[in-house]
Amino acid sequence: MNTTQLRQLDNAHVWHPFTPMLEHGREDIPVIVSGDRFHLIDTDGRRYLDGVSSLWCNVHGHRVLEIDKAIREQLGQIAHSTLLGLDNVPSIRLAAALVRRLPAGLTRVFYSDNGSTAVEAALKIAYQYYRQRRTRPENRELFVSLSGAYHGDTVGSVSVGGIDLFHGIYGGLLFKTLKVPSPASYRLPPGHTPQSWEAHCLAELERVFAAYRGKIAGFVIEPIVQGAAGILVHPPGWLTRIRELTRAEDVLLIADEVATGFGRTGTFLACEQEQVVPDLLCLSKGITGGYMPLAATVATEEIYDAFLDEPAEAKTFFHGHTYTGNPLACAAALASLELFEQSGVLGNVRDISALMARRLTELSDHPHVGDIRQKGTMVGIELVRDRADKSPYAATERLGHRVVLAARQRGVIIRPLGDVIVLMPAPAMPAGLVDELCSATFQAIRDVCGSA
């Protein structure tokens, strides 16, 4: 079947996520047929550098021998067996391996399928925990999150989200949550400096915690970086202060490290950069090296203990998914974890992060680059009509999308968040390819927006 026939079938039957389908049908979208380490190859044989890690999940590259081998060996045993009433070897080994790698105190691993379900499980665990804990059981029904937050697309995770473009239409489906302002400082309300805005955000956080004392079950946060909000980097110490407040107010801290985990920000977890240990940790995306769907919600012993009692007491966590703890995915994740140590992935992240920081200075004077945000390998380049007043391009101009198309012509796959151009190389990507990614992307920006 040739590319034209495949595209015809795609346009006839496939509904793509986060995609304006009318326009999708007009464009010659690459049909990917294979991968070669850090490149994607389409049905016409064209090679593209994977500049966003296949939606922020690929870690070691495509067709990695060690992960391929682990999956094949597991396939020779069994592809899937339920965790409802049964165990399987890879899920047990992976849970133990994760606990050894995570901050001390996070000991209980609940599996699901993706980042949204990891957050969904955390919300339900927190909600049930307060009703069942052995000391001071109580009803707490509220969750706090940041403006501009993104925690997934199921109803619970959307409820703690805050991106109107994605979530506004579903308002009638969602449960009540409390939003506090994000401390990101590029676009500030009139009269504020970055310092005064950070102080205001902290004051609002303290006010909300005081006003709803005893009613809040959890504070949900993407540590250090808000990904889908546009790679918004929080000021140093912000996460630490949140941990102090949640602890003082007896509120569970839920760290959504779906996007920030597995080396993206420069450490294995973003939380580690401020020595913060959450009560519940949500993992997905890079957990299998970007190979297969898998997620984990990791809890402390104190939280787990609230669910222990005789069956008749009905304190069980009545939640789960068909493919929970899938053996193939867990085998891939085990191989990926081993590669972190064997291949020095975090050392590579430090090297390529420094390289990207140096290269990004090339855009510092561009009249249509309003802001450049980076934490580790996570980069957001915000394009604006006027750098001086930060005025955005009209949505109808679709600048970000046009830059993506220009980059594709140069053999690079990237994806924007509106007019924020995102670079997210795999943590193991060699420096030479990261250099190539920067060059192609910067030239694509110049092609579309003009030169500095």
Q: What percent of the chain has pLDDT over 70?
A: 100
Give whole-number Cα distances, 294 to 56, 101, 111, 304, in Å: 14, 17, 7, 21
What does 294-323 look like in DSSP terms, one character per residue? -EEEEEEHHHHHTT-S-GGG--S-----TT
Which pLDDT belongs to residue 452?
Answer: 60
Fold of 31-60+344-449: Aspartate Aminotransferase, domain 1 (3.90.1150)
379 pLDDT more than 70? yes
pLDDT in tens, 30-85: 999 999 999 999 999 999 999 999 999 999 999 999 999 999 999 999 999 999 99
What's the whole-number mean pLDDT along residues 305-327?
96
Q: DSSP per residue over 229-287, as a string?
A: TTSEEPPTTHHHHHHHHHHHTT-EEEEE-TTTTTTTTSSSSGGGGGT---SEEEE-GGG
Distance separating the N- and C-terminal Cα atoms of the chain: 45
- For the chain, the average pLDDT equals 96
Question: pLDDT band for position 294 (50/70/90)?
Answer: very high
Q: What is the pLDDT of residue 450?
A: 84
Q: What whole-number distance in Å separates Cα of residue 274 and Cα of residue 277?
A: 9
Domains 31-60+344-449 and 68-342 share a fold: no
Domain ranges of the chain: 31-60+344-449, 68-342
Residue 427 confidence (pLDDT) above 90: yes
141-164 pLDDT, tens digit per residue, is 999 999 999 999 999 999 999 888
- Phi/psi of residue 178, each to 5°? -110, 130
Mean pLDDT along residues 170-186: 93
Q: What pLDDT is attached to residue 41?
A: 98
Supply the pTM of this predicted model: 0.96
The CATH class for the domain spanning 68-342 reads alpha beta
Angle at Cα 133 formed by Cα 129 and Cα 139, nearest 5°?
60
Check residue 231 and give its pLDDT: 97
Q: What is the pLDDT of residues 322-376, one digit of tens each?
A: 999 999 999 999 999 999 989 999 999 999 999 999 999 999 999 999 999 999 9
Q: Given the structure tokens 């992976």, which residue do they identify?
A: 94
